[in-house]
Homo-oligomer: A and B are copies of this chain.
């Protein structure tokens, strides 16, 4: 074991809860540290402390006092308004670097935060190291597999995301019958999928269910934080958008609530697919 006690810094959504569960099940000591306003209310059950975004000094004290030697950053934290954040002195000291990085993209911002933890001597652990069962395997996950046309769309969307690598943009794109429907930037994946639902169906060449949503890591991104994550909401969005399926890069993407997500996809005739980088190169 590379670490003895893990601080789980909990943003929104179910991922932080699943990581805490995984630690509990494996008998790995952890402290559940909730980010006020972001962590799911269910996270209170893990009986840990709560901090505001910007309380870096308080966080450092908690990690030291509880004997953590590693941290994981998990869950959704929308990009903050740095000008209205309550920053303690420790966060304030980091602010110039944070602001400079924030202007380059979310990836750059997360790199600074990871560096700060490592600079303090903490190991930064990826969600997939703790709960490997969340990582998407290769191939179809449910009853439906992508057609040859779908695979071409997967390839094109995956290549769009790769081409945007130098610009630290989003992790998602959607393609239908070769036509790029949408590319994620600052609006987030859910908004992007909702936009597709509002496009005329004819844009997908009139087929009842066509096109794929692809999520994959940005080239060069820090893989220990912000792995592409899909879940029931993603599948429901893809169903509403008339897409044929959702594909993510195998092993480097997470599927939350897999049973429920796969059941929803199967019921609607959608595929969920884990592709290999070499399949889309």
Contact = CB atoms under 8 A, between A and B. Distances in A.
Interface in A100-156: 102-105, 156
A109 to B, nearest CB: 9
A99 interface: yes
A84 B202 contact: yes
Interface stretch (A2-10, A14-22, A67-75, A159-167): A159-167
Given A169-B160, A202-B83, A182 B182 contact: no
Chain A: interface secondary structure? mixed
A78 B182 CA distance: 16
Interface residues of A, number: 42
Query: Can you tell how many copies of this chain the complex includes?
Result: 2
Given A82-B202, A167-B160, A187 B195 contact: yes
Given A81-B206, A102-B205, A182-B186, 18 more contacts: A81-B200, A81-B201, A82-B202, A82-B205, A82-B206, A83-B206, A159-B166, A159-B167, A163-B166, A164-B180, A167-B180, A168-B180, A174-B185, A179-B186, A180-B186, A181-B185, A183-B183, A187-B199
